[in-house]
Amino acid sequence: MARARVALGVALLAAGLGACTEGGTRSRERDHVVRFWGLGREGEVVKDLVPEFERENPGVRVVVQQIPWTAAHEKLLTGFVGGSPPDLAQLGNTWIPEFAAIGALEPLDPRVAASRALAPGDYFEGIWKTNAFAGATFGIPWYVDTRVLFYRADLLAAAGYPEAPRTWSAWREAMVKIAGAGASASTNASAITKEPGGKRFAILLPTNEWEQVTIFGLQRHSALLADGDTRGAFSAPAFAGAAAWYVGLYRDGLAPVVSYTQLGNPYQEFSRGYIAMWITGPWNLGEFRRRLPPELQDTWMTAPVPAPDDAGEYPGYSLAGGSSLAIFRASREKDAAWRLVEFLSRPEIQSRFYGMSGDLPARRVSWDAPALAGDSKAKAFRDQLSRVTPLPRVPEWEQIAQKLWEDLEGPIRGRASVADSLRRVDADVDRILEKRRWMLARAKERGREAGGR
């Protein structure tokens, strides 16, 4: 009996100790430990750069946690809300307003001003601006991202297009020719068609991604949000036209109706010729090189996105995306984290990072390095970066973007009309932004009172 009691007590004590020492471990270590959350492929790749940083900074250890993009936004918010955010994190730059608005991030202007390793002028101006919120800088651009057209040059040429199409109408014609080329000769099974040698599609547009339709909207000069970014403008003619064109691609059998989660392995589909085009970002430069078989490496190419016919310009607009490095306000290792930021922002490290991941450096001077300057497939990105527009800088953007693709699934599957769905999007967006409207109104009130006008 007494033995049982002792055993019980010891077990409970152990459990309790285990819980307590979680917090105590950090203070017992002599090293500074920087917890860095990297997302997707970048999270994997950055682990290889860490040893060099640690060699240069003895006494600092970096622990990289890699988080998939699909869960990243959620995990970052939960980490902050739960009181255990990382010290440093990679954030998509559309998330900066959101995290800054809730007070999660540390303003970086004093560090930037005092730094000898980096300065605002080193970066693409539009990209640097995406990290500003309410007059302060909350992130340092790590890599830039925009979306361009990846395509199978051989399939396009066979359809009569030796070069990538430059206008929407030419693009559509090319798609029709490719899809209409009939069944693929491959006997391998495709995940998106259900039979081997099944119908071929022209372009991959995952139904759970908002980026493509938003790009089309931006190309048609839609502002996406109206009234000082407090209401939806998705049912306005500019966006409506773009959405109709987008949905038409599915309806006419040019794009398969699959979400990214259903797809499994898009690279396999691409290499087997079941899809010939894909609007995606620079990380796929690395992935294509890694995952497509060697004999196909000469058959794929990139090009800037085509523009609407009446735009009179080429290329069409694309997203000013990318990721930034941001330090969390609750971190106790801000200095060490900043040193890591400076390390990752060094031009030669940026070039190396490009070589490892395909992600494009945010630092302009790195573009002149031979690796990048000589990369024919990266040229499309360089050209596209001269034609990018930022998205509305509201904390609710992520939620709005999700609503957009969710509500467009209906028309894509032929279950609803585009017009109805867009009206629903606007209604939802108005609702999502209601709190923002209230807070802005309240701030204006307070400003008026304070100004004594």
CA distance 371 to 347: 12
CA distance 162 to 423: 40
Comparison of 369 and 432: residue with beta carbon closer to other proteins = 432
**In this chain, which of 232, 308, 315, 395 binds other proteins, going by CB under 8 A?**
395
Residue 415 in the binding site for other proteins (CB under 8 A): yes
Q: Report the nearest approach of other proteins to the CB of residue 260 (Å).
A: 8
**In this chain, which of 26, 31, 71, 109 binds other proteins, going by CB under 8 A?**
71
Pattern 426-445, other proteins, x by CB under 8 A: -----x---x--xx------
Residue 79 in the binding site for other proteins (CB under 8 A): yes
* CA distance readout (Å), 24 to 27, 252, 294: 6, 61, 51
Q: Select from 302, 265, 15, 45 the least CA-distant residue to 153.
A: 302
**Which part of the chain contacts other proteins (CB under 8 A), choosing from 133-141, 159-167, 187-195, 213-221?**
187-195
Q: Are 61 and 32 in contact (CB under 8 A)?
A: yes
Comparison of 80 and 142: residue with beta carbon closer to other proteins = 80
Residue 87 in the binding site for other proteins (CB under 8 A): no
Per residue, the 3-state secondary structure of 96-120, as one string, reads: HHHHHHCCCECCCHHHHHHCCCCCH
Residue 81 in the binding site for other proteins (CB under 8 A): yes
Q: E-strand spans in 317-446?
A: 318-319, 321-327, 360-361, 388-389
User: Token digits for 340?
Assistant: 């890591």
Comparison of 76 and 159: residue with beta carbon closer to other proteins = 76
**In this chain, which of 410, 423, 430, 437 binds other proteins, going by CB under 8 A?**
410
Q: Select from 375, 344, 372 the least CA-distant residue to 48.
A: 344
Q: Report the nearest approach of other proteins to the CB of residue 19 (Å).
A: 4
Q: E-strand spans in 120-233?
A: 132-133, 136-137, 140-145, 148-152, 203-204, 225-226, 231-232
Strand-pair category, 148-152 with 88-92: unpaired
**What residue type is assigned to position 240 of the chain?**
A
**In this chain, which of 6, 12, 119, 441 binds other proteins, going by CB under 8 A?**
12
**In this chain, which of 112, 170, 191, 236 binds other proteins, going by CB under 8 A?**
191
Comparison of 31 and 74: residue with beta carbon closer to other proteins = 74
Pattern 205-244, other proteins, x by CB under 8 A: ---x------------------------------------
Q: Report the nearest approach of other proteins to the CB of residue 47 (Å).
A: 11
Q: Quick count: other Cβ atoms within 10 Å of Cβ 376? A: 8
CA distance 322 to 141: 7
Which residues in the 355-384 window bind other proteins by CB under 8 A?
Answer: none
**In this chain, which of 34, 46, 88, 104 binds other proteins, going by CB under 8 A?**
104
Q: Report the nearest approach of other proteins to the CB of residue 3 (Å).
A: 12
| Chain-centroid distance, C-alpha 432 | 22
Question: Where does residue 7 rank: exposed (0-12), middle (13-18), buried (19+ CB within 10 A)?
Answer: exposed
Q: Quick count: other Cβ atoms within 10 Å of Cβ 83? A: 7
Residue 135 in the binding site for other proteins (CB under 8 A): no
Comparison of 327 and 380: residue with beta carbon closer to other proteins = 327
CA distance 98 to 199: 43
Residue 57 in the binding site for other proteins (CB under 8 A): no
**Which part of the chain contacts other proteins (CB under 8 A), choosing from 25-33, 73-81, 131-139, 315-323?**
73-81
**What residue type is assigned to position 80 of the chain?**
F
The residue whose two tokens read 């599609």 is 201
Binding site for other proteins (CB under 8 A): 1, 4-5, 8, 11-12, 15-16, 18-19, 22-23, 65, 67-68, 70-71, 73-75, 77-84, 98, 101-104, 188-191, 194, 196, 208, 258-259, 261-262, 264-265, 268, 395, 399, 406, 409-410, 413, 415, 431, 435, 438-439
